[in-house]
């Protein structure tokens, strides 16, 4: 037999020495492996040697002159495998970096290999019952051969661990059971529809396991994210201006993906949560109308304002012509929206489906290029609105400001009866003039006609009759109040007095000092309240009254009050005089109920927050803090965008301030000027100190509207060979005293303490973009990625203890 360089049909080759290395490694692995897949082991060894040879291509290796007789046959098999290497074999890549994209539940940024080894998920080895011939297998193999036990183990992988399995290195049995769990919740941006289809088609039957699907218009979301921001004068610096690359045939590719999911043999169409820019509704409708079965299980439609002046605003010298172009744009997308809603209602009526339950409109800025847009809300026909109102349980309208045209469209929505409505959110950022009263009256009348709401979120500037005046919602558990513009008639307090089940309360920013004190004085509210979103002064009033808050969102930009913060009994509180004015803590007591704190600063830089951290929070006062979130804006439009090195430095300093939080498991940091963090290898050269129990770290980059998630990987502990002198048995640190000698019995008793001296090392590992489930399994509704009230936390803190959301 001749040992020489062997070339594969694809053009790559192995030298004689590398062929010998593959053969030796394959034999060695098979001697210790419990599995009997010789070809699979041989292919994996081949890939490992190929990877190493590519890294050291400039270091040629010589082949030995003598070949051991024992591996001649294995060399022949390796050469045969190389010479007949097919694209199926190419799918056995051992590269962790390459597969990291493929294993994510979201499609990767580049198309995965469409010809990976076929995995028939409907027929697995887990169906086989162990018999006499398999009794000689190891206990581990027999354990995984029981479907119920294997499913029980894999359930623990659903949150993040499944994403970390390198599927090319595990058996077909594990792959066949892991892949369906990975795609149960599938997030597909419009521009990645082709990648998602290839990923699903490359594994037979995999498409039938998609249960919750989010279709996201990433191009429309990009333009919504880059809208002019009211608190930033130069949006170009703070938001990315380069949109995602959109394929020319994107809509056809999206239709192909839906066809694959709709024609699955084993299961019904997945529950679909749809988020689409208003400019693209017409293109989407053209794909859906060809097969209405696509929307039989649609659960949500979320409309994003993707207004682009260069495309939608007509350049004309006359203001009337410019306004007309805006009106035409709204009428056009309104017609397409009506067609889409009619299609959804018809398809679900015919199929007997009642899944459609969420309808939301998120507006963008009202002023572009110094031109005030005339309107945004579409006017829909009464017939379509009635059919919509019969189904919807969650209605959300978020706008920058209203115009006279928007009021009529808003009134048409709210004048209907919504029999199944449970939650209603309306947020208007600007205070208008002549038509504001009409808007308030419509909202007030709407609340009076719908007494079954469990959440009402109204954040508008009240000028006339307060929205909550003479309104009662017996089932209400969550609400938002903005009472700073109303008369000091305690209308907000009257509203709270009528509701004794409120668990979540949001107060608008810059509430008056008296408002927080008045609300905190109500005993039933303090008993039921678990979540509070407010400025630091209002939070202090509730904590001073011993409210057992668990989750607090602090709007840190609240202006300093001139009034004293004396307690109700007229005595001074036990206040730390070194506390900064943004601190939510009213005194030096420990607050054991608080497990999550979120600080939101729009006009404070991250370095400033780092300096003030010791005065903002205290580990001794928050002994059970499990999750911390901090968002910082910027107070200067001239500041440049941070480099990745500056971002890492801020991260290091932030983690350093959290050293004393022993129960902290997750942190989230975001800053308007922050940049992407570097690769894991470079990142871990600088970041190596973590709070002792930290598990998750999230770094939010508003510039790209993207959040990067990391897990903290703890290496196995190492016992110290020579324990520090301070931990010797006669050291005062151990409480033994300062004696110079001990008896042998004392030494034996102290020995276990020496063995417990261990050193732990940890590192950050970047997770795929969508590393965790984000859909409610009961409703199919996905987490709203653009709602700052929810997206920055991984845990649900409303129960007896924090639990991972959607886990």
In a domain, 501, yes or no: no
Q: Of 348, 378, 408, which residue is a domain's last?
A: 378
What is the pLDDT confidence band of residue 99, given thresholds at 50, 70 and 90? very low
Angle CA(250)–CA(254)–CA(260) in degrees, nearest 5? 145
Cα 727 to Cα 750: distance, rounded to the nearest angstrom: 10
Q: Please state at what angle helix 72-83 crosses helix 38-55, rounded to 10 degrees.
A: 70
pLDDT, residue 756, reads: 43
Q: Are residues 209 and 158 part of one domain? A: no
pLDDT, residue 7, reads: 84
Q: Are residues 352 and 254 part of one domain? A: yes
pLDDT, residue 236, reads: 54
Cα 659 to Cα 667: distance, rounded to the nearest angstrom: 12
Q: Of 378, 405, 439, which residue is a domain's last?
A: 378
Bridge partners of residue 630, in order along the sequence? 599, 669
What is the pLDDT confidence band of residue 60, given thresholds at 50, 70 and 90? very low
Give the tens place of pLDDT for each residue, 345-358: 999 999 999 999 99
Name, of 207-221, 317-331, 557-571, 726-740, the range with top average pLDDT. Answer: 207-221
Give the tens place of pLDDT for each residue, 645-704: 888 888 999 999 999 999 999 999 988 878 888 888 889 888 988 999 999 999 988 888
- Dmax (CA) for the chain in angstroms is 99
Site of tokens 């909202």: 443
Cα 280 to Cα 224: distance, rounded to the nearest angstrom: 13
Cα 302 to Cα 360: distance, rounded to the nearest angstrom: 5
Q: Are residues 246 and 169 part of one domain? A: no
Bridge partners of residue 368, in order along the sequence? 371
Task: Give yes or no for a contact between 698 and 792, defined as CB atoms under 8 angstroms apart.
Answer: yes
In a domain, 547, yes or no: no
Which two structure tokens, joined as six digits, stand for 20? 């010998």
Q: Which helix (H) or strand (E) holds 258?
A: helix 250-262
Cα 726 to Cα 262: distance, rounded to the nearest angstrom: 67
SS3 154: helix
Q: Are residues 222 and 332 part of one domain? A: yes
Higher pLDDT, 70 or 606: 606
SS3 770: coil
Q: Are residues 54 and 143 part of one domain? A: no
**DSSP-assigned letter for residue 464:** S
What is the pLDDT confidence band of residue 792, given thresholds at 50, 70 and 90? confident
**Cβ partners under 8 Å of residue 405, min gap 6:** 327, 374, 375, 377
Q: Which helix (H) or strand (E) holds 631?
A: strand 627-632
Cα 599 to Cα 509: distance, rounded to the nearest angstrom: 13
Domain count, the chain: 4
Tell whether the model's pLDDT for residue 144 goes beyond 80: no
pLDDT, residue 104, reads: 41
Task: Give yes or no for a contact between 113 and 202, defined as CB atoms under 8 angstroms apart.
Answer: yes
Q: Are residues 360 and 242 part of one domain? A: yes
Cα 241 to Cα 237: distance, rounded to the nearest angstrom: 9
Give the tens place of pLDDT for each residue, 455-500: 988 776 665 556 777 788 889 999 887 765 455 455 666 777 788 8
pLDDT, residue 91, reads: 38
Which two structure tokens, joined as six digits, stand for 482? 């903005």
What is the pLDDT confidence band of residue 166, given thresholds at 50, 70 and 90? low
- Predicted model pTM: 0.75
Cα 217 to Cα 281: distance, rounded to the nearest angstrom: 10
Tell whether the model's pLDDT for residue 623 goes beyond 70: yes
Cα 217 to Cα 304: distance, rounded to the nearest angstrom: 9
Q: Measure CA 150 to chain center.
A: 28
Give the tens place of pLDDT for each residue, 285-321: 999 998 888 999 999 999 998 888 777 667 665 666 7
Which two structure tokens, joined as six digits, stand for 156? 């623990």
In a domain, 692, yes or no: no
pLDDT, residue 12, reads: 81
Task: Give yes or no for a contact between 531 and 595, defined as CB atoms under 8 angstroms apart.
Answer: no
pLDDT, residue 396, reads: 93
Cα 721 to Cα 754: distance, rounded to the nearest angstrom: 10
pLDDT, residue 667, reads: 96
Q: Of 151, 166, 182, which residue is a domain's last?
A: 182
Q: Are residues 227 and 292 part of one domain? A: yes
pLDDT, residue 622, reads: 96
State what percent of residues in the chain have pLDDT above 70: 70
Tell whether the model's pLDDT for residue 447 goes beyond 50: yes
Higher pLDDT, 459 or 111: 459
Residue 474 to residues 450, 451, 531, 650, 674, Cα–Cα distance (Å): 11, 7, 19, 47, 44
Task: Give yes or no for a contact between 22 and 45, defined as CB atoms under 8 angstroms apart.
Answer: yes
Least confident of 109-118, 245-254, 653-662: 109-118
Which two structure tokens, joined as six digits, stand for 292? 């209405």
In a domain, 775, yes or no: no
Task: Give yes or no for a contact between 669 and 653, defined as CB atoms under 8 angstroms apart.
Answer: no
In a domain, 68, yes or no: yes
Cα 557 to Cα 561: distance, rounded to the nearest angstrom: 12
Bridge partners of residue 640, in order along the sequence? none
C-alpha count within 13 angstroms, C-beta hemisphere, residue 571: 5
Handedness of CA 529, 531, 535, 537 (dihedral sign): positive
Tell whether the model's pLDDT for residue 229 goes beyond 90: no
Q: Are residues 305 and 171 part of one domain? A: no
- Compute how many other C-beta atoms are within 10 angstroms of the C-beta atom of residue 293: 16
Cα 72 to Cα 78: distance, rounded to the nearest angstrom: 10
pLDDT, residue 317, reads: 57
Tell whether the model's pLDDT for residue 381 goes beyond 50: yes
Tell whether the model's pLDDT for residue 160 goes beyond 50: yes
Higher pLDDT, 369 or 376: 376
Least confident of 250-254, 347-351, 398-402: 398-402
From the list 691, 728, 726, the residue with the least C-alpha distance to 712 is: 691
**DSSP-assigned letter for residue 579:** -
Least confident of 77-86, 363-372, 466-475, 701-710: 363-372
Give the tens place of pLDDT for each residue, 13-58: 888 888 888 887 787 767 655 555 778 788 878 877 776 665 444 4
Cα 609 to Cα 632: distance, rounded to the nearest angstrom: 8
What is the pLDDT confidence band of residue 579, given thresholds at 50, 70 and 90? low
SS (H, E, C) 329-385: HHHHHHHHHHHHHHHHHHHHHHHCCCCCCEEEEECCCCEECCEECCCCCCCCCHHHH
In a domain, 221, yes or no: yes
Q: Please state at what angle helix 72-83 crosses helix 16-32, rounded to 10 degrees.
A: 110
pLDDT, residue 619, reads: 93
Task: Give yes or no for a contact between 253 and 200, defined as CB atoms under 8 angstroms apart.
Answer: no
Task: Give yes or no for a contact between 71 and 20, defined as CB atoms under 8 angstroms apart.
Answer: yes
Q: Please state at what angle helix 404-414 crosses helix 436-449, rounded to 10 degrees.
A: 10
Q: What is the mean pLDDT of residues 201-208?
A: 86
Name, of 384-393, 612-621, 771-780, the range with top average pLDDT. Answer: 384-393
Q: Are residues 59 and 205 part of one domain? A: no
Q: Are residues 105 and 45 part of one domain? A: no
In a domain, 769, yes or no: no
**What is the rounded average pLDDT for all residues in the chain?**
77
Give the tens place of pLDDT for each residue, 587-610: 999 999 999 999 988 777 788 888
Bridge partners of residue 7, in order along the sequence? 13
Tell whether the model's pLDDT for residue 734 goes beyond 60: no
Site of tokens 């598990």: 695
Bridge partners of residue 601, in order along the sequence? 632
Q: Are residues 110 and 57 part of one domain? A: no
Q: Are residues 356 and 247 part of one domain? A: yes
pLDDT, residue 581, reads: 77
In a domain, 371, yes or no: yes
From the list 606, 559, 600, 635, the residue with the least C-alpha distance to 233 is: 635
Question: How many residues are there in the chain?
Answer: 807
Handedness of CA 472, 474, 475, 478 (dihedral sign): positive
**Cβ partners under 8 Å of residue 725, min gap 6:** 731
Domain span at 316: 183-378
């Amino acid at each position: 037999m001749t040992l020489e360089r062997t070339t594969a049909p694809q053009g790559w080759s192995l030298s004689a020495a590398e062929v010998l290395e593959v053969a030796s490694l394959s034999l060695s692995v098979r001697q210790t492996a419990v599995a009997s897949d010789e070809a699979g082991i041989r292919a994996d060894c081949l890939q490992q040697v190929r990877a190493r040879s590519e890294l050291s291509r400039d270091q040629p290796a010589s082949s030995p002159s003598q070949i051991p007789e024992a591996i001649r046959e294995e060399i022949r098999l390796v050469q045969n495998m190389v010479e007949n290497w097919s694209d199926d074999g190419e799918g056995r890549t051992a590269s962790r970096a390459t597969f990291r994209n493929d294993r994510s539940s979201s499609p990767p940024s580049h198309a995965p290999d469409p010809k990976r080894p076929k995995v028939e998920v409907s027929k697995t080895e887990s169906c086989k019952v162990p018999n006499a011939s398999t009794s000689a297998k190891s206990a581990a193999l027999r354990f995984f051969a029981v479907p119920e036990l294997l499913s029980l183990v894999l359930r623990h992988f659903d949150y993040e661990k499944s994403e970390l399995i390198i599927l090319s290195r595990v058996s077909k049995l594990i792959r066949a059971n892991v892949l369906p769990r990975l795609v149960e919740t599938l997030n597909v941006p419009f521009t990645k529809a082709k990648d998602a289809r290839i990923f699903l088609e490359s594994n037979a039957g995999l498409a039938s396991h998609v249960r919750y699907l989010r279709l996201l218009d990433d191009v429309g979301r990009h333009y919504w994210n880059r809208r002019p921001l009211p608190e930033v004068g130069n949006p170009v610096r703070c938001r990315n201006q380069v949109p995602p690359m959109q394929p020319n045939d994107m809509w056809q590719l999206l239709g192909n993906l839906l066809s694959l999911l709709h024609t699955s043999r084993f299961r019904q169409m997945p529950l679909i949560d749809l988020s689409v820019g208003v400019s693209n509704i017409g293109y989407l409708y053209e794909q859906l109308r060809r097969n209405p079965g696509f929307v039989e299980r649609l659960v949500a439609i979320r409309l994003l304002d993707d207004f682009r002046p260069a495309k939608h605003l007509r350049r004309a010298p006359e203001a009337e012509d410019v306004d007309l172009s805006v009106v035409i744009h709204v009428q056009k997308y309104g017609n397409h929206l009506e067609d889409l809603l009619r299609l959804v209602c018809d398809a679900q009526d015919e199929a007997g489906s009642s899944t459609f339950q969420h309808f939301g409109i998120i507006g963008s800025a009202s002023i572009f290029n110094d031109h005030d847009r005339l309107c945004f809300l579409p006017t829909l026909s009464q017939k379509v609105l009635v059919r919509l109102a019969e189904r919807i349980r969650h209605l959300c309208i978020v706008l920058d400001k209203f115009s006279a045209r928007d009021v009529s469209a808003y009134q048409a929505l709210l004048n209907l009866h919504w029999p199944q409505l449970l939650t209603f959110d309306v947020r208007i950022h600007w205070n208008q003039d002549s038509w504001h009263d009409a808007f308030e009256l419509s909202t007030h009348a709407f609340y009076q006609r719908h007494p079954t709401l469990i959440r009402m979120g109204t954040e508008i500037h009240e000028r006339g009759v307060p929205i909550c005046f003479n309104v009662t919602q017996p089932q209400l558990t969550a609400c938002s109040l903005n009472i700073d513009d109303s008369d000091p008639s305690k209308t907000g307090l009257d509203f709270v007095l009528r509701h004794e089940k409120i668990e979540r309360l949001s107060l608008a920013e810059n509430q008056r000092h008296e408002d927080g004190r008045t609300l905190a004085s109500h005993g039933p509210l303090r008993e039921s309240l678990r979540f509070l979103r407010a400025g630091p002064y209002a939070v202090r009033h509730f904590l001073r009254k011993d409210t057992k808050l668990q989750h607090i969102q602090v709007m840190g930009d609240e202006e300093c009050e001139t009034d004293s913060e004396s307690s109700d009994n007229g005595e001074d509180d036990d206040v730390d005089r070194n506390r900064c004015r943004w601190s939510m803590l009213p005194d030096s007591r420990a607050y054991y109920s608080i497990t999550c704190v979120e600080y939101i600063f729009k006009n404070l830089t991250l370095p400033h927050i780092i300096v003030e951290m010791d005065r903002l929070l205290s580990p001794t006062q928050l002994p059970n803090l499990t999750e911390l979130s901090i968002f910082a804006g910027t107070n200067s439009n001239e500041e440049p965008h941070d480099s990745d090195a500056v971002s890492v430095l801020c991260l290091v300093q932030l983690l350093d301030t959290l050293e004393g939080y022993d129960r902290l498991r997750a942190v989230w940091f975001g800053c308007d000027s922050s940049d992407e963090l570097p690769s894991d290898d470079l990142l871990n050269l600088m970041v190596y100190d973590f709070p002792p129990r930290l598990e998750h770290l999230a770094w939010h980059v508003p510039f790209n509207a993207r959040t990067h998630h990391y897990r903290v990987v703890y290496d196995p502990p190492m016992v110290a060979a020579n324990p520090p002198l301070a931990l010797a048995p006669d050291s005062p640190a151990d409480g033994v005293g300062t004696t110079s000698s001990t008896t042998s019995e004392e030494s034996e008793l102290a020995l276990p303490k020496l063995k417990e001296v261990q050193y732990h090392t940890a590192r950050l590992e970047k997770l795929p973009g969508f590393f965790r489930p984000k859909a409610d399994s009961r409703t199919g509704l996905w987490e709203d990625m653009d709602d700052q009230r929810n997206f920055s936390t991984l845990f649900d803190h409303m129960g007896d203890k924090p639990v991972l959301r959607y886990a």
